[in-house]
Chain A
Amino acid sequence: MKAEFEKYLTMVERYLKPLPTSERVDIVKEIKGSILEMEQEDLSEEEILQRLGEPKDLAKAYLGDLLIKESDFSFTRVLTICAFYSVAGFSGMFVIPILGIVAPVFIVTGVLSVLCMAVKLTDHIFHLGLPYMENIGVFSINGVSVMNPFGEFLAALVIGAVLCFLGQGAWKLLKFYCIKVGKTKKDLSI
């Protein structure tokens, strides 16, 4: 038998991991039989591999109806589940609340800082004399701005954009984290 097929069978066997060894050996032996019969019929390597499909899909076809019955207790499975929930639970305890707060707060402050500076700039241009304007400012020493309101507005635009960008990044990271955890859980079929 060609090395290509040996490799294929090894892959199938690897994907059949959830099954007991005896069953795995039996399945691989039967598939090997099929390959050899096809070789005898002078089918090309490509034809045989195409007919068998991807090793993963072939293994999945076997696991499909067996996994439901495979609910029996196994030590490695318990360890896997424990490991998964420890990591997911512990990391989630920090990652979800931190990112969950950071994302909206950054975006809101980003927008607010630009709005505030816009108000201050309007006040400056039209001499409206609005109260509390001295409290708004990008760079101020002892309540005195070191920049003029135009410069401050530009600086606020930049800072606002950066904050929004960071907030959006945090949001994406949070989504990515949740999807990843969900996917891992599914892959482990817990």
Chain B
Amino acid sequence: MNLDKWKSQIARGTLEYCILLMLRQKTCYGYEILQELNKYTMLASTESTVYPLLRRLLKENYLEAFWKDSVEGLPPRKYYSLTSLGEEYVTLMSEEWEKLLQAIISLKGEDQ
């Protein structure tokens, strides 16, 4: 059984959605996003996946970013937040996600 492979495929497919959901709640800096994701074993990621993904979302205008000085002794942080296009995008994603969940529920045969 190769459950890990399947898990990493799911994580890869949903990471974008998860990050957008997180940023809908509040503006976050890159490392904060990583820390948050690492709270969930399924979503645990490293810089090499999350940072390039954030960059792509910026390029596609779903996100906007700004640098801000942080507490003393720490470097400036790059904060990310959703644009209105990003809001729209994540709303549409949520609709699709609901459909997927419904499909899974009915496939399990638990939808009485």
**A residues whose Cβ falls under 8 Å from a Cβ of B:** 26-27, 29-34, 36-37, 40, 51-53, 57-58, 61-62, 64-66, 69
Sampled A-B contacts (11; CB under 8 Å): A32-B75, A33-B75, A33-B78, A34-B34, A34-B51, A36-B75, A40-B74, A51-B46, A52-B47, A61-B51, A65-B56
Least CB distance from A166 to B in Å reads 48
Number of A-B contacts (CB under 8 A): 54
B48 near A57 (CB under 8 angstroms)? Answer: yes
Alpha-carbon distance A65/B58, docked complex (angstroms): 12
Chain B residues with CB under 8 Å of A40's CB are 73-74
Least CB distance from B46 to A in Å reads 5
Chain A residues with CB under 8 Å of B29's CB are 33
Chain B residues with CB under 8 Å of A65's CB are 52, 56
Q: Is the interface of A mostly helix, strand, loop or mixed?
A: helix
Least CB distance from A57 to B in Å reads 6
Least CB distance from B105 to A in Å reads 34
Chain B residues with CB under 8 Å of A32's CB are 75
Interface residues in B, total, Cβ within 8 A: 20
B48 near A58 (CB under 8 angstroms)? Answer: yes
**B residues whose Cβ falls under 8 Å from a Cβ of A:** 29-31, 34, 46-49, 51-52, 55-56, 59, 67, 73-78
B51 near A33 (CB under 8 angstroms)? Answer: no
Chain B residues with CB under 8 Å of A58's CB are 47-48
Known contacts A30-B30, A65-B56; decide if A36 and B46 are in contact (CB<8 Å).
no
Closest residue of chain A to B49, judged by CB?
A61
Chain B residues with CB under 8 Å of A34's CB are 30-31, 34, 47, 51
Of A27, A37, A69, which is within 8 A of B51 by CB?
A: A27
Chain A residues with CB under 8 Å of B59's CB are 69
Chain B residues with CB under 8 Å of A27's CB are 51, 55
Least CB distance from A182 to B in Å reads 27
Known contacts A29-B75, A33-B75, A36-B75; decide if A62 and B47 are in contact (CB<8 Å).
no
B52 near A33 (CB under 8 angstroms)? Answer: no
B51 near A36 (CB under 8 angstroms)? Answer: no
Alpha-carbon distance A151/B67, docked complex (angstroms): 86
Closest residue of chain B to A40, judged by CB?
B74
Q: Among B49, B51, B78, which residue has the most Cβ atoms of chain A within 10 A?
A: B51
Chain A residues with CB under 8 Å of B77's CB are 33
Least CB distance from B32 to A in Å reads 9
B46 near A30 (CB under 8 angstroms)? Answer: no
A61 near B74 (CB under 8 angstroms)? Answer: no
